[in-house]
């Protein structure tokens, strides 16, 4: 399974604001909703659209990236993946 990254694409003269979800297997871009959706929900919707396009399942976990301030990173874990508790960064 591949990690999915998202990023916000601002409006242009010809297109509205959008969110792009991408990974090595492909990408998808969805329109930004103005009503009642939080930023995280907007990015999650793009990831769901990409997973549907690629026919990927599983449980997805969201995190932010230090060098990717306009988006998020999503990774998939299923029952075959051992969950590891991460301690504090030193």
Span 11-69, pLDDT tens digits: 999 999 999 999 999 999 999 887 667 888 888 899 999 988 998 887 788 877 655 66
User: Is residue 7 pLDDT above 60, yes or no?
Assistant: yes
pLDDT reported for residue 22: 94
pTM of the model: 0.75
- The residue ranking higher by pLDDT, 76 or 28, is 28
The DSSP result for 28-81, as a single string, is EEEEPP-SS--HHHHHHHHHHHHHHHHT--SEEEEEEETTEEEEEEEEEE-TTS
- The residue ranking higher by pLDDT, 87 or 53, is 53
pLDDT reported for residue 69: 60
pLDDT reported for residue 78: 60
pLDDT reported for residue 21: 93
């Amino acid at each position: 399974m591949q990690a999915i990254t998202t990023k916000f694409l601002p409006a242009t003269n010809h297109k509205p604001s959008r969110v792009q979800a991408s990974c090595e297997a492909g990408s998808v871009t969805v329109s930004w909703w103005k009503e009642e959706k939080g930023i995280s929900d907007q990015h999650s919707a793009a990831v769901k659209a990409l997973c549907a396009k690629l026919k990927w399942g599983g449980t997805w976990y969201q995190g932010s990236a230090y060098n990717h301030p306009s988006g998020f990173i999503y990774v998939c874990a299923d029952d075959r993946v051992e969950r590891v508790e991460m301690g504090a960064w030193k």
